[in-house]
Amino acid sequence: MRAQRPNQEWLERMLRCEPDVVIVVLGGNDITSRCQPRDISMDILKLCRLVKARGVATVVVAGICQRWAFCDNALTLDRFTAIGSAIDHYVMRYFPVSSMVHVRKDVHWLSDGVHLSEDGMAVFMESLRLK
């Protein structure tokens, strides 16, 4: 899913459950070599504000996780990291941002280099719990 086009059906289904806490994990799929970090940040904030307005007590944004593979050939690891960091810093002015600190390419990611493995997801969820 992308911050620019969140899945409205999933969002409504989740909100019908009346959660106390929502963790927003978006933004990485929006990053390209030509993107504007502020635009992605604004899309994430728009979604967070919508969730908060619907009665969710706590909204936390997960920091953009590192990646090891990119669809955009012009996007480098350094550029992705810089854009992700800029997004996180903008969003954290308005909502808490949690990040995954222990990152190992060979353990925490699937072979596609984009999605977290089961071990990576466990570390990610634990890092959110500690916040």
Note down pLDDT in tens along the chain; length 131 residues.
778 888 899 999 999 999 999 989 888 888 988 899 999 999 999 999 999 999 999 999 988 877 777 888 899 989 999 999 999 999 999 999 887 665 667 788 888 877 888 988 888 788 777 55
Could you tell me the two tokens for 41? 């940040």
CATH superfamily of 8-100: SGNH hydrolase (3.40.50.1110)
Amino acid sitting at position 101:
V
Beta strands in 1-131 (DSSP E): 21-24, 58-62, 97-98
Question: Of the candidates 75, 86, 112, which has an alpha carbon nearest to the alpha carbon of residue 27?
Answer: 86
Could you tell me the two tokens for 8? 């409205």
- Do residues 59 and 9 lie in contact, with contact meaning Cβ atoms separated by under 8 Å? no
